[in-house]
Amino acid sequence: MARRRDLDALVARIRESVGDPVFQDTTGVALSRESRESWIDLQGAAVALAAGAADDDRRELARALLDAIVHQPCFGADNPLSREAFALLFEGAPEELAASLRPQVGHTYGGGGYLRARIWSLRGPEGARWLEVLARADPRVSPPSAEIVSAWTAEEWSARLDVVACLPVEPRPALVALPLSGRPPRTAMPAVVRVVIAHAEDERDGLLRFVADRLRAQRTSPEESIELFDWEGRHNRPELFRWLLELSGDAGARPPLVSAAVRAGAISEADGAWLGAGLERPAWADREVPWQLDRVFDVGEVRLPAGQLTGGDPWWTGGVEGFPWTIDVPSGSYSARIATASHPLEGSDCAALELLLDPAATVERWSLVAADRGYDGYHVEIGVASLGAPAAYGGAPVDGDEFFSRPRPAWDTVDRGVDGTLVLCSVRPQHQLCRTWVGTASGEPVAVVTDLGLLALDFGRSPSLPWR
Q: Report residue 32's pLDDT band, with 50, 70 and 90 as the boundaries.
A: very low
Beta-bridge mates of residue 67: none
Predicted TM-score (pTM) of the model is 0.83
Helix axes 238-247, 206-218, angle to 10 degrees: 50
Beta-bridge mates of residue 385: 425
Q: Which residues contact 50 (CB under 8 A, 6 or more apart)?
A: 57, 58, 61, 62, 88, 92
Q: Report residue 82's pLDDT band, with 50, 70 and 90 as the boundaries.
A: very high
Per-residue confidence (pLDDT) for residue 457, from 0 to 100:
92
Q: What is the pLDDT of residues 398-447, one digit of tens each?
A: 999 999 999 999 999 999 999 999 999 999 888 899 999 999 999 999 99
Yes or no: say if 300 and 319 are a contact pair by the CB < 8 Å rule: no
Phi, psi of 461 (to 5 degrees): -95, -40
Region of 271 on the Ramachandran plot (φ > 0 left; ψ -120 to 50 alpha; else beta):
alpha
Measure the CA–CA gap between 467 and 358, rounded to whole angstroms: 17
Average pLDDT, the chain: 92
Q: Report residue 21's pLDDT band, with 50, 70 and 90 as the boundaries.
A: confident
Stretch 24-50: mean pLDDT: 73
Q: Report residue 29's pLDDT band, with 50, 70 and 90 as the boundaries.
A: very low
List Cβ<8 Å contacts ≥24 apart for 457-465: 457/352, 459/366, 459/368, 460/366, 460/368, 463/363, 463/365, 463/366, 465/354
> Side-chain half-sphere of 240: how many Cα atoms within 13 Å?
23
Rg (CA), the chain: 29
Yes or no: say if 385 and 434 are a contact pair by the CB < 8 Å rule: yes
Q: Is the pLDDT of residue 25 over 80?
A: no
DSSP string, 331-362: SEEEEEEEEEEEETTTEEEEEEEEEES-TT--
Instruction: Tell me the three state secondary structure of residue 56.
Output: helix
Smallest CA-to-CA distance from 23 within 64, 78, 104, 81 is with 78
Per-residue confidence (pLDDT) for residue 34, from 0 to 100:
56
> Side-chain half-sphere of 462: how many Cα atoms within 13 Å?
8
Stretch 179-194: mean pLDDT: 94
C-alpha distances (whole Å) from 321 to each of 235, 312, 324 are: 56, 11, 9
Q: What is the pLDDT of residues 114-154, one digit of tens each?
A: 999 999 999 999 999 999 999 999 999 999 988 899 999 99
Per-residue confidence (pLDDT) for residue 26, from 0 to 100:
47
Per-residue confidence (pLDDT) for residue 430, from 0 to 100:
82
**Which amino acid would we find at residue 408?**
R
